[in-house]
Amino acid sequence: MPNYMDLNVGILGVPLILLATHVMASSTSGCVGTYFSWKCFQGICEIEAAQDAFVETSGAINTISASLMKIANDIRLLASGPRCGIGELILPENEPESSIMPGEVSPTQCEALTIACALVMGNHVAITVGGSNGHFELNVFKPLIASRLLQSIRVLGDAYASFEKNCVRGIKVNCERISKLLHESLMLVTCLNPKIGYENAAAVAKKAHKEGTTMKRTNLPSLSLSLSAFHLLTRSGLNIAMFTASHRVSCPPTVLCSPYLRLMSTSFREEKDTFGPILVPSDKLWGAQTQRSLQNFDIGGEHEVMPEPIIRAFGILKKCVAKVNMVYGLDPSIGKAIMQAAQEVSEGKLNEHFPLVIWQTGSGTQSNMNANEVIANRASEILGHKRGEKRVHPNDHVNRAQSSNDTFPTVMHIAAAADISQRFIPSLRQLHSSLHAKSVEFKDIIKIGRGHLQDATPLTLGQEFSGYTTQVKYGIERVMCALPRMYQLAQGGTAVGTGLNSKKGFDVKIAAAVAQETNLPFTTAENKFETLAAHDAFVETSGALNTISVSLMKIANDIRLLGSGPRCGLGELILPENEPGSSIMPGKVNPTQCEALTMACALVMGNHMSVTVGGSNGHFELNVFKPLIASRLLQSIRVLGDASASFEKNCVRGIKANHERISKFLHESLMLVTCLNPKIGYDNSAAVVKKAQKEGTTLKEAALSLGVVEPHEFDELVVPEKMISPSD
């Protein structure tokens, strides 16, 4: 390394080399290593000003920590016991655990790994904040960023190696316990759905559970008698529903912000589910299960309803499923009515009939049933029947060959992939185009650089903007790299990933139908167990958005600082004046687009932590943070995409260079002395700077006064135009 190499590059280079080495060596990082080693040393302008490669790598390791948290939690829960837990696995007994309870042995390796995962998640937040604080030509959080990422790589790698050696290798299966639990389960009744219908199957399960018998020994006297008994059992539910409805009608106006109160009706109809009858507003298409959810999850009010992209995606999915189910024997008249009703949902025509909030069951079951009930009732109307008659059944027809466990993750992927492809990426591409145009427009404007917020050596304004352009370019690449996993659909996995109650080829046909409907390259998931139990694709995509938010935070902060003034700031850029900036200071105009974008970036950073925690909480065959994960990512996509588009349209396009101000700063800067280093040495150059600064003279005057250079030599060497690229 040459002895005159800029210290900034040296300080960055050492952790980059160490980081690349650790990443390549770590068993947890896998494919990250090859990619990151290629990214480490690209572009001096981009690499000094931004630490996006570190944030990107941390995002990948953060995703890995989410996966490992799920794996470790699953294993320790499956081994819980030995007498009073699940006990399907027997873990190695490595050491005694308790100082008071003789014989206790705990899943210590699982616990160590989950603690390491939590460390990585916290470190990722620190790296994100550090990465977002690169101003102008230098990020000054390098030691923090490097140390946290190196710690994450080392600790997670070691914890994973210990977990594999001391736990995974020695795991044994408790076959007796597994067999016992399997044959005691009432959910085997699910395979009776196609034969006797959902409600009769539910009655069998309830009777077996109540009487302590097996399902095989559970006999229902007749359909009419079972319904009679069913009404007797659920009469109290009807009374409760009527009381609740009358209570709502008399509620004071201050309470009417609730999502179900704002959709109140003065007349009701009776709908039924396996819990019995319940009153539903007559003018609404939803049914009993949606109504129960409204009563049980009054959380957050109308501003927390399920995002519209999820609702529209349900319409797309249910239409496609009905189309495929007709191939497998669904009555064509019912199938076509379902398709027509689902089309109305996908077009947003029935949005008022989807009142449920995000904060519900973590599998999204109630929103799936909301869609099933709305589509079933609307399809019944299309066929000339009344709402609530179940001429089209929400479970047996609309939800045929499906489970909430595969429909909700499927609509999550449809909604996110559509928003990324149709809204987010186009916004970023437009921003990239405008930044690139500015880098070309400003390519001949030489200005002073800044590091540590202090004067540095010159560069062109075009070079400065080229760093911004490259950051956005890499951001587009990052989110594009995540899309292949987002295009994989869970549909066909049904309850736990096995595809029970669906037909062979059903999953492939559904994915093809959705792809045709959306014009996006959806495919059936490579492994349905992964897509139901984990949402790593969402954590990965959120990580990409998190990195992009770091990039945009830096860009927006630079531009608003460069545009600060107009008299008493840097004032090198002139930003568009879109609106008055103050209610008290006349004539003040603020960099509002920059401020809006940075706030959107902060939102995305927070959302990413929520998605991360949600992604890490998939247990066994199901992740039960689905509504949270979906809503946070969709909000990040929408807000950051819109903010980027607004920033490009209302700020970047209209940016102008303040030539007079740029030239003044350039020729007043003392850091032009840097080009004298090879001639007179660092110490003499420093003496020139100190003398000029102390006495208020020019560099040339100070240099000549000290006698370290001749006038003609100074004029030949101190030429800003020669300082913006390597010498020959």
| Mean pLDDT within 581-597 | 86
Has residue 571 got a pLDDT over 60? yes
Judging by beta carbons within 10 Å of its beta carbon (0-12, 13-18, 19+), is residue 236 exposed, middle or buried? Answer: exposed
Has residue 297 got a pLDDT over 70? yes
Beta strands in 305-363 (DSSP E): none
**pLDDT tens, residue by residue, 668-700:** 999 999 999 999 999 999 999 999 999 999 999
pLDDT of residue 7: 38
pLDDT of residue 190: 83
**DSSP H or E run through 238:** helix 223-249
**DSSP H or E run through 16:** helix 7-25
Question: Coil, helix or strand for 683?
Answer: helix
CB atoms inside a 10 Å sphere around CB 267: 8
Question: CA 93 to CA 170: how far, in whole Å?
Answer: 9
pLDDT of residue 219: 57
**pLDDT tens, residue by residue, 242-255:** 333 344 333 333 33
Question: CA 685 to CA 677: how far, in whole Å?
Answer: 6
In this prediction, residue 105 has a pLDDT band, given cuts at 50, 70 and 90, of: low
Question: CA 20 to CA 45: how far, in whole Å?
Answer: 20
Q: What is the pTM of this model?
A: 0.80
Sign of CA dihedral 121, 125, 128, 130: negative
Task: Tell me the chain's radius of gyration from C-alpha atoms.
Answer: 32
CB 234 within 8 A of CB 275: yes
Tokens, residue 202: 């539910």
CA distances from 16 to 33, 53, 94, 467 (A): 12, 10, 38, 19
Query: Which pairs count as long-range contacts for 692-698, CB under 8 Å and 24+ apart, including other chains?
Result: none
pLDDT of residue 242: 38
Question: Coil, helix or strand for 624?
Answer: coil
In this prediction, residue 96 has a pLDDT band, given cuts at 50, 70 and 90, of: low
**pLDDT tens, residue by residue, 634-674:** 999 999 999 999 999 999 999 999 999 999 999 999 999 99
CA distances from 53 to 135, 177, 227 (A): 16, 48, 63
Question: CA 58 to CA 95: how far, in whole Å?
Answer: 33
Question: Coil, helix or strand for 113?
Answer: helix
Question: Coil, helix or strand for 208?
Answer: helix
Q: Are strands 523-524 and 488-489 parallel, antiparallel or unpaired?
A: parallel
The distance of Cα 249 from the centroid of its chain, to the nearest Å, equals 40
Question: CA 319 to CA 308: how far, in whole Å?
Answer: 17
Which position has the higher pLDDT, 204 or 446?
Answer: 446
Question: CA 654 to CA 58: how far, in whole Å?
Answer: 35
DSSP at 94: -
CB 52 within 8 A of CB 547: yes
Question: CA 318 to CA 279: how far, in whole Å?
Answer: 26
pLDDT of residue 422: 96
**pLDDT tens, residue by residue, 30-74:** 444 444 444 444 434 444 556 788 899 999 999 898 888 889 888
CA distances from 448 to 111, 158, 666, 671 (A): 53, 46, 5, 9
As annotated, the active-site residues are 452, 582
| Mean pLDDT within 254-277 | 65
Question: DSSP secondary structure string, 180-206?
Answer: HHHHH-GGGGGGGHHHH-HHHHHHHHH
pLDDT of residue 187: 78
**pLDDT tens, residue by residue, 360-405:** 889 999 999 999 999 999 999 999 999 999 999 999 999 999 999 9
**pLDDT tens, residue by residue, 142-196:** 887 888 899 889 889 888 888 898 889 999 999 998 888 888 888 788 888 888 8
Q: Which of 51-60, 248-257, 337-346, 558-567 has the highest mean pLDDT?
A: 337-346
What angle, rounded to 10 degrees, do the helices at 108-131 and 142-166 form?
A: 160
What count of residues does the chain have? Answer: 728
Q: Which of 85-89, 262-266, 348-352 has the highest mean pLDDT?
A: 348-352
